[in-house]
């Protein structure tokens, strides 16, 4: 379903600069939530400078990570950023006139609006939109509701296309989807890959592993399939 959403996003016209910026930013957001399981509140409170390399003393390798400074209960954590998420981030940053590689300590919001802002005291102040873009005077997105609006808009757009194609059941799923749906997707994907529940709990920053256990519950058909293997002749 997420691939369907991405395909739908790519089909939307990107004739204007603003539309192109929005597409690259929204693709990054979608993949970030899908592959890290971050909460919407954690994403909007993150800065560009929170993306940093983290060295593994055992292997000597460095891994891209995002420092979560405002987790649930004000707890600090860290999430791993896969290579595809980093590629999306670099493309998004470059489109917004930033160097592709993040700079440690940069206080710029991780999620930006394609619209520019006025800054008091800037002299000379660029009067044109192009001038403000060149100086990276972007509005910052710090509200969880705004992030929710961005993603649900993408989900709704894809749902309309699915309904037009007669795929009503899948469209109904996307019409109910939200930012937290992607967090649950992350947990279920790790479970399906056979990742240890304790690792999943750490990856999702759950205080209690019992919260993570919800992703390991088997549904009826899972149970039937297992029983069919151990009971010759059927269940």
Q: What is the domain range of residue 218?
A: 194-235
Residue 188 falls inside a structural domain: no
Residue 184 falls inside a structural domain: no
CA distance linking residue 213 with residue 217, whole number of Å: 7
Residue 90 falls inside a structural domain: yes
Q: Same domain for 171 and 61? A: yes
- Along the 235 residues of the chain, how does pLDDT read in single tens digits? 899 999 999 998 888 999 999 999 999 999 999 999 898 999 999 999 999 998 888 888 888 999 999 888 788 888 889 999 999 999 999 999 999 999 989 999 999 999 998 776 655 666 677 778 888 889 999 999 999 999 999 999 999 999 999 999 999 999 999 888 888 888 888 877 777 777 777 777 776 666 666 666 545 555 556 566 666 554 4
Q: Same domain for 28 and 105? A: yes
Q: Same domain for 112 and 146? A: yes
Residue 187 falls inside a structural domain: no
> What number of H helices and E strands is found in the chain?
11, 5
Q: Same domain for 132 and 232? A: no
**Domain-ending residue, one of 177, 203, 218:** 177
CA distance linking residue 9 with residue 147, whole number of Å: 16
Count of the separate structural domains present in the chain: 2
Q: Same domain for 103 and 162? A: yes
DSSP reduced 3-state for 110: coil
- Give me the CATH number covering residue 84: 1.10.443
Q: Which residues of 143-174 are buried (b: 16+ CB within 10 A; e: fewer)?
A: ebeebeebbbebbeebbebbeeeeeeeebeeb
Q: Same domain for 204 and 138? A: no
């Amino acid at each position: 379903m997420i691939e369907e959403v991405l395909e739908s996003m790519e089909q939307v016209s990107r004739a204007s600069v603003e539309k192109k910026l929005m597409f690259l930013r929204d693709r990054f957001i979608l993949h970030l939530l899908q592959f890290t399981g971050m909460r919407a509140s954690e994403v909007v409170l993150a800065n560009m400078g929170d993306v940093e390399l983290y060295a593994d003393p055992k292997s000597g390798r460095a891994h891209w990570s995002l420092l979560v400074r405002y987790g649930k209960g004000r707890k600090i954590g860290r999430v791993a950023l896969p290579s595809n998420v980093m590629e999306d981030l670099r493309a998004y940053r470059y489109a917004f006139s930033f160097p592709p590689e993040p700079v440690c300590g940069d206080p710029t919001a991780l999620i930006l609006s394609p619209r520019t802002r006025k800054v008091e005291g800037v002299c000379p102040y660029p009067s044109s939109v192009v001038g403000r873009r060149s100086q990276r005077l972007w509005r910052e997105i710090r509200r969880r509701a705004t992030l929710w609006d961005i993603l649900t808009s993408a989900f709704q757009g894809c749902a309309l296309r699915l309904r037009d194609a007669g795929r009503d059941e899948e469209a109904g799923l996307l019409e109910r989807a939200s930012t937290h749906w992607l967090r649950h997707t992350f947990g279920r994907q790790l479970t399906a890959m056979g990742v240890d529940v304790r690792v999943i709990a750490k990856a999702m920053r759950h205080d209690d592993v019992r919260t993570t256990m919800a992703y390991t519950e088997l549904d009826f058909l899972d149970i039937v399939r297992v029983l069919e293997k151990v009971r010759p002749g059927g269940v």
